[in-house]
A and B are shown apart, each in its own frame.
Chain A
Amino acid sequence: MSDDAELDELYQELIMDHGRRPRNTGVAEPCSHRAHGHNPLCGDKLALTLRLEGDVVADVKFLGEGCAISTASASLMTQAVKGRPVGEVLDLYHRFHALVAADAGDASAPDTEILGKLAAFGGVRRFPTRVKCASLAWHTLEAALRPEGASTVTTE
């Protein structure tokens, strides 16, 4: 893959769109779970709130400041997990992590059927310094869903 193609893959249209116009921003009200995400190396911050109804993520919103990759990741994550049971959400969390943190030489195609739009982040694996940007929202979501409840998660 040429250098510019790598860059185009990272900043593809879907990611640019969600980076500029993130969906589901704000605070979920009422909310049953929340967590703060922080990347101390770059200063990215994320406040995630969500409401479980039974076992299902009925609503999820975020507020934060960050780069296009981290903002788009948070935005697309909220769309992906809304309406899903917690078990499926955690499965997506693991699949997303495997997608972005995979060895850059790993050419295996992501499971786009399960990941859906999230597969757009497959290009992140070629940019080791940007993996934390893409994964901050997901780590924050996982922290919010932990049984012990509210917490702050940091990635560095």
Chain B
Amino acid sequence: MSAFDATALRAEFPVFEQTIRGKALAYLDNGATTQKPRAVIDAITRFYAHDNANIHRAVHTLGERATAGYEGARAIAARFLNATSPNEIVFTRGTTEGINLVARSFVEARLRPGDEVLVTGMEHHANLVPWHMVCQARGARITHVPLLDDGSLDLDALPGLLTDRVRLFAVTQVSNALGTVNPIRALVTQAHARGIPVLVDAAQAVAHLPAAALDVQATGADFVAFSGHKIYGPTGIGVLYGRGEHLSAMPPFMGGGDMIREVFLDRSTFAEAPARFEAGTPPIAEAIGLGAALTWFMGLDREAALAHEDALLAHATAALAAQDGVRLIGTAREKVAVLSFVLDFAHPHDAATFFDFEGVAVRAGHHCAQPVMARFGVPATLRATFAPYNTEADVEALLRAVARVRRVFTE
């Protein structure tokens, strides 16, 4: 175990100052959403208590402060992804909106009947359904990179799938259901060699990978989408990174205030990116909260924090793998944060109810990844997902919960 002090980190999160049904909270549902440190909660409170105003229009002091906070958050997000400019950062409601924006404003007009959008067998519904929608509208079709039995991509199949009909390769960086980490840089290199742009769903990746893996100049990704709430920030705010040359050539996604240059009664001209893609009053406090979250996260000893998280995952994985009647779903060599499993003796929903009585919060379900469930022949899994504020005590609680379910259902 590293010298990382998870207990000190945990003390920064007010949510852990409580018990659940008399037990310490073992929050292992970080893949669904992460808890928020005091730094983020305080930033949001401070904004509403001192700086609240609308942005980009008011001349008064509060308006200037609100605008500075909002645009400051954009600069922080640019630094987080190592974008070449804050203008490559579009604020969205989350990963889902970012992907829909690219589907509607970048991909749809390029699709001709018979064209293809390439995805993978491990995508979250958010990185499937928008492509289904534009492909149906344009008579195009979806192709996919299949999964191997360990939950990694069948990379041998990729070259044959990068056809000259593919208009976009949409791929997750980390599978939310399996934990598999995909080699984004290599995937982008192969796609670009065929002239195919790449969108990366980084929702599950941002809180669990080192900075180098998320560096858009290093990976070469054309678009990267993520959500604030999965990286210790608020819900309702996310980031779409888009290479400048793409964003400046794309039409708006939604029309309204703040995204225009000039409006006449019968027509309008549009602002430059990123304002062009941010119609209406945005979630200002949430953007500022996201900036605080990214600043907080970048201020961690990230290597030690992620090593701690990996050690917990390794411990829990080894302990469960050794048990009869436990099947791990997703055992790729390169994986982070996610431990998906099924129990021979109990349905995931029954197990999760018992887990809750041990103070253990996990997700039970299909994780918005029904094709993954189908690939592994299960209707649902239990999924424990880790964060740096988790401790060995949380892993022990998880193992205790599994033992209790085994007792009840195999007695």
Q: Enumerate chain A interface residues (CB-CB to B < 8 A).
A: 3-4, 7, 10-11, 16, 19, 41-45, 65-69, 127, 129-130, 133
Contacts and interface: CB of A to CB of B under 8 A. Distances in A.
A127 B353 contact: yes
Contacts of B348: 42, 67
Interface string B32-61: 000000000000000000000000000000
B364 to A, nearest CB: 7
Given A42-B380, A43-B379, A43-B380, A66 B353 contact: no
A7 B346 CA distance: 15
Given A43-B365, A66-B347, A67-B347, A7 B380 contact: no
Given A43-B365, A43-B373, A43-B379, A10 B21 contact: no
B350 interface: yes
B366 interface: yes
A133 B349 contact: yes
Contacts of A42: 348-349, 364-366, 379-380
A7 B21 CA distance: 12
Contacts of B21: 3
Contact of A7 (B22, B349, B357, B379): B357
A16 B21 CA distance: 23
Contacts of B366: 42-43
Interface string B347-391: 111100110010000001110001001000001100000000000
Interface of B: 21-22, 346-350, 353-354, 357, 364-366, 370, 373, 379-380, 408-409
Contact of B353 (A4, A16, A19, A130): A130
A69 B365 contact: no
B149 to A, nearest CB: 21
26 contacts: A3-B21, A3-B357, A7-B354, A7-B357, A10-B353, A11-B350, A16-B409, A19-B350, A41-B365, A42-B364, A42-B380, A43-B373, A43-B379, A43-B380, A44-B379, A45-B379, A66-B347, A67-B347, A67-B348, A68-B409, A69-B350, A127-B353, A129-B353, A130-B349, A130-B353, A133-B349
A3 B353 CA distance: 12
Given A11-B408, A43-B373, A67 B22 contact: no
Contact of A68 (B22, B346, B370, B373): B346
B350 A68 contact: yes
Given A11-B408, A41-B365, A69-B350, A4 B357 contact: yes
- The 9 A-B pairs at the shortest CB distance, nearest first, are namely A67-B347, A67-B349, A43-B379, A3-B21, A67-B350, A68-B350, A43-B380, A43-B366, A42-B365
A71 to B, nearest CB: 8
B349 A3 contact: no
A44 B408 CA distance: 22
Contacts of B409: 16, 68
Contacts of A69: 349-350
A63 to B, nearest CB: 14
A137 B350 CA distance: 17
A44 B373 CA distance: 13
Contacts of B365: 41-43
Nearest to B366: A43
Given A3-B357, A10-B353, A129-B353, 7 more contacts: A11-B350, A11-B408, A43-B365, A43-B370, A67-B347, A68-B409, A127-B353
Name the residue in A7, A10, A67, A133 with the highest tally of chain B Cβ atoms < 10 Å from its Cβ: A67
Nearest to B411: A16
Contacts of B349: 42, 67, 69, 130, 133
A16 B408 CA distance: 9
A121 to B, nearest CB: 14
B372 to A, nearest CB: 12
Contacts of A68: 346-347, 350, 409
Nearest to A133: B349
A42 B350 CA distance: 11
A67 to B, nearest CB: 4
B233 to A, nearest CB: 25
A3 B346 CA distance: 20
A76 to B, nearest CB: 16
Name the residue in A10, A42, A129 with the highest tally of chain B Cβ atoms < 10 Å from its Cβ: A42
Contacts of A127: 353
B360 to A, nearest CB: 14
A57 to B, nearest CB: 28
Contacts of A41: 365
Contacts of B347: 66-68
Contacts of A19: 350
A156 to B, nearest CB: 12
Nearest to A45: B379
B282 to A, nearest CB: 30
A44 B347 CA distance: 10
